[in-house]
A and B are shown apart, each in its own frame.
Chain A
Amino acid sequence: MTANLRRRKIYSRIFETLCALAVIVALIPLAMILFYVIKEGFGALNLDFFTKMPKPVGESGGGMANAIAGTLILIGIAAAFAVPVGCLCGIHLSEYPGTKFSSVVRFAADVLNGVPSIVVGIFAYGILVLPVKRFSAIAGGVALGLLMIPIVVRTTEELLRLVPGGLREGALALGATRGRAVFSVIVPAALPGILTGILVALARVAGETAPLLFTAFNNRFWSTSLTQPIASLTVQVFTYAISPYDDWHRQAWAGAFLLVMMILTLSILARLAVRRLERMNRS
């Protein structure tokens, strides 16, 4: 082995080790955060947390029942808005991919994807809160839905394109209209992937705080009304975290723990769906 080769081999080893180190370096904050969230949050979780309302400032106890319900309602509204809009838009883009209109829409979806969530919040405030002069769960849900749309559009479009052309041709040959072919044959074939996209989008918005600040506001009480302000885990965790009360800090960690668990579950479900889709496509 020449000296040159030896030197190059050493360089190679050094850089490979650095890459391995990079992985470890990235995993350290992940471990720290998860460790802290679990340590502080799991201990603070008790039955009260899930069933009680927040107590007044300074009194200990109470829980975040309204915030948990609020977050579920908000992502429900977001999905109700984003799923039909995103899927149908994705369907259009995959069925008519070459048109100028489709290119423009694709461009718009990419733009929407990059908009910071706080800007979306300002937009939702302007069109959904100011004109009706009230904060509402709907405004918050729609703000979150706007953030979901680009993800749903992109995954729907790409997955529908992956469906083998033979399926569509077969359906059309049997006399189905375009619409029928798409909704009865192609979409069901791509459904696991589309669901994955929806779950990924839900996971993204479940952790959002900024857009909710000026739309859903917050609510100390139990409320499931769509036209009233509504509490949410993220905003509540934020309010408690910056407070000086230790009891509220504990609850903030518990809320953070719950949030992380929720998002983890959604992303695990998404991964399982992808695995199933890959298995289906292989068979």
Chain B
Amino acid sequence: MTRSSDDRSFRIGTGAFAALVLLIVAGIAFELTRQSTLSITKFGLKFWTTKVWDPVSGDFGALPFIWGTLYSSILALLVATPIALGIAIFISELSPRMLRQPLAYLTELLAAIPSIVYGLWGIFVLVPIVRKVEIAMGAKPALGVGMLAAALILAVMVIPFTSSVAREILKNVPTTQREAAYALGATRWEAIKVAIGFGRTGIIGAVMLGFGRALGETMAVTMVIGNSPQISASLFKPQYTMAAVIANEFTEAADELYLHALIEIGLLLFIITVGVNLLSRLLIWSTKRRAVTTVIAPVVAEVAA
């Protein structure tokens, strides 16, 4: 029948585009692997534990970049999470109704600022401030560029992501939870704590989303981190991240092994950020489901009794 063949061509037609999306992702994973084979075969697992990054002798190790990426992102999280959660709580629970939309919009504005503008502000404004702090704390030499500046910039960039998802989570917490808390005589803050407790997996998911964002950030970080592949817990030492080294050295990598080593770093970055993002979505989704089942289950039990 014409009707079903039309339906079938609709299904296949739209399905083709859906398949295209699938192909793209598979293509990225495939391309990254294919273009890093030289490095994978030469260094194997040692690549992840070697500290040396020497284009002259052809000796490459990704450890300093892995360290820099994880350290800067975790520091950024430590700074950003309390602030982002504070904002989410304020906007969804504490603020006057009138302020809600404008405040939400303002926090989203933080996400709208392009990374390059953050980088500009970073080198011209943040780095001199950090340099003054370093001089005051007696760090030598006081460069300004380094892990601290990078972590601060990342924190600012991550705040809007974590806070808007946390707001969504808090919105989805059933009001019965808070009402129950108040009925038991809780203060405002204690009721909020109950809501957070209920949505905690989702909030962890929001935090991880921010983490994923921080891991992949390139331009702003490379302008303030100092671009020096060293492993150091010091906040004042210049360090290097995976995304930054790729951005800096990709166009110049003139020999195959160098290029493949850089792309292998890109492959690792791909795997890590994908993993973190998926985990975060799972956590967010499971909270939303919990909201449904926790409301329905007791009601069903009530009705069945």
Contacts and interface: CB of A to CB of B under 8 A. Distances in A.
Interface in B75-118: 82-87, 89-91, 94, 103, 105-110, 112-118
Interface string A170-205: 000000011110100000000000000000000100
Interface string A1-30: 000000011011001101111110111011
A49 interface: no
A179 B274 contact: no
A112 interface: yes
B183 interface: no
Interface string B104-143: 0111111011111111110111000000000000000000
A39 B21 CA distance: 42
B65 to A, nearest CB: 13
Given A23-B86, A179-B7, A88 B17 contact: yes
Contacts of B21: 85-86, 89, 105, 108-109, 112, 149, 153
A116 B277 contact: no
A29 B187 contact: no
A242 B6 contact: no
Interface residues of B, number: 83
Interface residues of A, number: 83
Contacts of B91: 23
A237 B116 contact: yes
Q: Which 3 A-B pairs have the closest CB atoms?
A: A207-B114, A22-B86, A116-B216
A110 interface: yes
A195 B68 CA distance: 39
A132 interface: no
Nearest to A120: B28
B123 A241 contact: yes
Given A116-B270, A118-B266, A234-B116, 4 more contacts: A12-B189, A26-B87, A111-B278, A179-B10
B299 interface: no
A105 B219 contact: no
Contact of A242 (B17, B108, B223): B223
Contact of B219 (A9, A209, A260): A209
A22 B115 contact: no
Interface stretch (B39-47, B52-60, B171-179, B244-252): B244-252
A120 B218 CA distance: 12
A55 B131 CA distance: 33
A228 interface: no
B18 A256 contact: no
Interface stretch (A62-70, A72-80, A92-100, A219-227): A92-100
The B interface, classified by DSSP as helix, strand, loop or mixed, is: helix
Interface of B: 3, 6-7, 9-11, 13-15, 17-22, 24-28, 31-32, 35, 82-87, 89-91, 94, 103, 105-110, 112-121, 123-125, 156, 159, 163, 187-190, 192, 212, 215-219, 223, 243, 246-247, 250-251, 263, 266, 269-270, 273-274, 276-278, 281
24 contacts: A12-B187, A16-B94, A19-B90, A22-B87, A26-B84, A26-B156, A33-B118, A85-B20, A105-B22, A114-B276, A115-B274, A116-B217, A116-B218, A116-B270, A123-B27, A177-B3, A207-B113, A208-B114, A213-B250, A237-B117, A253-B120, A260-B112, A260-B114, A267-B109
Contacts of B218: 116-118, 209-210
A44 interface: no
B104 to A, nearest CB: 10
A238 interface: yes
Contacts of B125: 32, 36
Contact of B19 (A25, A105, A234, A264): A105
Interface of A: 8-9, 11-12, 15-16, 18-23, 25-27, 29-30, 32-33, 36-37, 84-86, 88-89, 91-93, 95-96, 101-102, 104-105, 107-120, 122-123, 126-127, 146, 149, 153, 177-180, 182, 203, 206-210, 213-214, 234, 237-238, 241-242, 252-253, 256, 259-260, 263-264, 267, 271
Contacts of A182: 10
Contacts of A252: 120
Nearest to B248: A213
B31 A123 contact: yes
B188 A16 contact: yes
B189 A119 contact: no
A256 B113 CA distance: 9
Nearest to B186: A8
A267 B6 CA distance: 38
Contact of B263 (A9, A105, A122): A122
Contacts of A107: 278
A107 to B, nearest CB: 8
Contact of B121 (A8, A36, A105, A112): A36
A185 B122 CA distance: 49
